[in-house]
Amino acid sequence: MQTTLNRHTTAGWGSGLLGVLIFSGSLPATRVAVSGFDPLFLTSARAVIAAFLGSALLVLMKQSRPGQGDIAALAFVALGVVVDFPLLTALALQHITSAHSIVFIGLLPLATAIFGVLRGGERPRPMFWLFSCVGSMSVAIFALTQSAEVSLKGDLLMLAAIVLCGFGYAEGATLSRRLGGWQVISWALVLSLPVMIIQALVTLPETWVGISVPAWISLGYVSVFSMLVGFIFWYRGLALGGIAGVGQLQLLQPFLGLALAGLLLHEYVAPTMIGITVFVVFCVAGAKRFA
């Protein structure tokens, strides 16, 4: 029994880490994409593309429809991770850099853990909260030193995005225990499809001329990987390894995102990132032990 539990926990953390690696490219890609697309169109287009892919998966794998009691929870998942987080971050990234936005990504593990307690019924030990809070604050303090650009509007949009995303993560992970990780995100995408199609049509660009190749590539990335593939691994990881515990892997996402922002967008990244990353890995390990 204990061996099986340990195996599931290890598989959960491994799957969660793959999800985090995929999500790390989301903010830099969104930053590039909004240079060519309106945030409203970007949000709806990525959801529509991912929804068609998710629908194909559901049909090919012959999945039965979710129960009536799961519809409300799927709607919350769709609202949090399909609609609100992509839209609010896209709007925020019109006012702040992707490096600055990572301040708030550092708070996402804590938000996920809190909703894991409220919605998932998890009860981490007190030391877990210590490691989680210290890790979150170290990420936030570090990221604040990376960008002098401060926008109250951008910061408020990012804060709202984090709260709603944390809720969507916890709700989706709870559902994944019954439905499966890829099924949850696929059904959530399908549920949001009618609204997203209408929004995409209403916000279509007046002209496609002048939209850069990097913007198109970024749209493809956030549609296929950020909106679907990443969630397949992420929800599976949260369901197997625990919402609060595996959620701490998100503490690594800011540093992976900062590295990509520096490499691809030429945004400034301080050399102290390596030392802080080591410290954050220590916090993640501590949180894992006491989750």
Number of other residues whose CB lies within 10 A of the CB of residue 247:
32
- Quote the CA–CA distance of 39 and 54 in Å, as a whole number: 22
Q: pLDDT per residue over 152-186, tens digit each? A: 788 888 889 988 998 998 898 888 888 888 899 99
- Quote the CA–CA distance of 43 and 194 in Å, as a whole number: 14
Please report the pLDDT score of residue 143 as a whole number.
62
182 lies in some domain: yes
Please report the pLDDT score of residue 78 as a whole number.
93
34 lies in some domain: yes
Please report the pLDDT score of residue 110 as a whole number.
82
167 lies in some domain: yes
What range defines the domain where residue 146 resides?
Answer: 9-290
Say yes or no to pLDDT of 142 above 80. no
2 lies in some domain: no
> Count of domains in the chain?
1
- Quote the CA–CA distance of 173 and 179 in Å, as a whole number: 10
1 lies in some domain: no
